[in-house]
Amino acid sequence: MKRRGFLLAVMGGALAGCEGLGGLLGPPANLYTLTPKSNFAADLPTVASQLVVEEPSAAGGLNSVRIALLRDGTELGHFAGAEWADRAPRMVQILLTESFENTGRIVAVGRQAIGLRSDFNLMSELREFQAEYSRAGGSPTVRVRLTAKLIRQPRRSIVDSQSFEANLPAGGADMRAIVLAFDEALGRVLRQVVEWCLRRMATGA
């Protein structure tokens, strides 16, 4: 699959919000999205099952279109003038679904919203999805962590649960370099989740 660009055009005329007590309109934010994974292990099994990918849960600071940053391990903030094109958990749900489709190793996969009758559900929680700064003026490290549970239907029994994480230093302090690091770090997590999930589904546990 051809890697698609992740910088979306700024929405002309969009209102980015108000700033200050005077309610002055700020400039529109640059919108970013990330890419699904398309390269997987050659020995992945083919599964004759249907999978529903549920939207990950997330704490309030991450359940947002705003791009999170963490300073000194305790201060959670957001980048000014830059946003995700969708709420982070929904974006991850869509990218997971597309990544499963890109394997060509599953009969059917879809998001919860489309009403697919499933053999398995993938539930997850987005625990970390931020750029972390350890010192002023330096480039951040992007941290992505997703905990996942594979649920067999219709009994809703847990087949397995795992935590997947990637940490990647950004190649620079500018927003493009930071988003590239998000794309690579999330891509590593997507690959791990998809391969783990397909292997567990194939065992028929």
**pLDDT tens digits, 117-157:** 899 999 999 999 999 998 766 899 999 999 999 999 988 89
pLDDT of residue 28: 87
pLDDT of residue 136: 67
pLDDT of residue 14: 30
pLDDT of residue 152: 95
pLDDT of residue 114: 65
pLDDT of residue 6: 45
Contact 90, 96 (CB under 8 A): no
Region label for 6, one of left (φ > 0), alpha (ψ between -120 and 50) or beta (otherwise):
alpha
Spatial distance between the Cα atoms of 198 and 52, rounded to a whole number of angstroms: 13
Q: Has residue 187 got a pLDDT over 90?
A: yes
Exposed, middle or buried by CB within 10 Å (0-12, 13-18, 19+), for 107? Answer: exposed
Q: Name the pairing type of β-strands 141-152 and 18-19.
A: unpaired
Residues 6+ apart with CB under 8 A from 108: 50, 51, 116
pLDDT of residue 74: 82
pLDDT of residue 164: 98
Contact 84, 33 (CB under 8 A): yes
Closest CA to 16 of 25, 3, 4: 25
Secondary-structure class of domain 45-202 per CATH: alpha beta
- What is the mean predicted confidence (pLDDT) over 35-39? 97
Spans of all domains in the chain: 45-202
Q: What is the pLDDT of residues 91-103, one digit of tens each?
A: 999 999 999 999 9
Spatial distance between the Cα atoms of 169 and 182, rounded to a whole number of angstroms: 9
